[in-house]
Amino acid sequence: MLPREKMLAHGPAALTESELLALLLGTGCQGMSVTALASHLLEQFGGLEKLLTTGHKRLMTVKGLGPAKATQLGAILELCRRVLDAKLTKSDIISSPEVTREYLQLHFQGLEREQFACLFLDTRHRVISLETLFMGTLSAATVYPREVVKQALALNAASVIFCHNHPSGDPQPSQADIHITVKLKEALQLVDIRVLDHMIIGRGSILSMAEHGLV
C-alpha cells in the first residue's frame, strides 16, 4: 500500500517515518522513487530529527534534494517551532516543563556553535520572550551578566530561565557553566529577578541544573 493510501485508510499515526517523509517530498529523483529517496535520506542523516534540523545550504547539496524540497523541509521545522512557541507562550511554564523542553530542544537543534539564551517570564511564569543574547565558538559563549540584567529589566521580567547548547552533544555542566550561573543569579537578585533554572541542551537530551541542585 502506498503512503498516501495508507494514510487515508489508517491515519497519519500508522505511517513510518520513511512513509511520512515520502509524502512530504512528493516526488523522487532520477533513478530513485520517492519512497526509496526517503529511506536513503533517513539512512544518510541518521534519522528524521537530524534531517529536518540540517541547514538549508547543506540540504541543497544532497542528491535528490533541490531548492524546492530543501525549502519544504525547512518550512516544516519552522512550523513545528511556531506551534511549540504558541503553546509555550500561552502556558504557565512551571506547569508545562515538557513543552518547555521540547521547545528548547527544537530551538537549539542542529546549531554548530554554542549559544546562550534566556527565557524571560512574567509574574505568572508565562513566557515574555526567548532571547539569544550571546553566541560563541564551537565550544564556548562569553556571557556578560550586565547585558542579561539590562534585557530582563527592559522586558519587565519577574524571573528567567537560562539555556544554552553544548554542540558536543553532552549536556553535563562544566565548571564554567556553574560559575556563570552563580554570577548571573547574584546579579539578578540585586534587581529582584528570580533565576528558576539553567537548562543545557545536548544531543537528544536536556539537563536541568535546578534539578541537580546547581541553581
Q: How many beta carbons lie within 10 A of that of residue 163, not counting itself?
A: 25
CATH number where 157 lies:
3.40.140.10
d(CA 28, CA 185): 53
Interhelix angle 34-45/17-25, rounded to 10 degrees, is 120
Element (H, E) at 97: helix 97-108
On whether both 113 and 75 belong to a single domain, the answer is: no
Q: What is the pLDDT along the chain (215 residues), one digit of tens a residue?
A: 788 888 888 888 888 988 888 888 888 877 788 888 888 888 888 887 777 767 777 777 877 777 888 888 878 877 877 777 776 666 666 666 777 888 888 788 777 789 999 999 999 888 888 899 998 876 677 889 999 999 999 999 999 999 999 988 899 999 999 999 999 999 999 999 999 999 999 987 899 999 999 99
On whether both 112 and 203 belong to a single domain, the answer is: yes
Considering the domain boundaries, does residue 100 fall inside one? no
On whether both 75 and 10 belong to a single domain, the answer is: yes
Kindly give, in sequence order, each residue whose CB lies less than 8 Å from that of residue 110, ignoring residues fewer than 6 positions away.
50, 53, 54, 55
Radius of gyration of the chain, Cα coordinates, nearest whole angstrom = 20
Among residues 24, 17, 19, the alpha carbon closest in space to that of 7 is found at 19
Residue 41 sits in which domain range?
Answer: 3-79
On whether both 61 and 138 belong to a single domain, the answer is: no
- Beta strands 194-201; 159-165: pairing state: parallel
CATH number where 38 lies:
1.10.150.20
For the chain, how many structural domains are there in total? 2
Query: Looking at the DSSP assignment, which residues form a beta bridge with residue 206?
Result: 201
Considering the domain boundaries, does residue 101 fall inside one? no
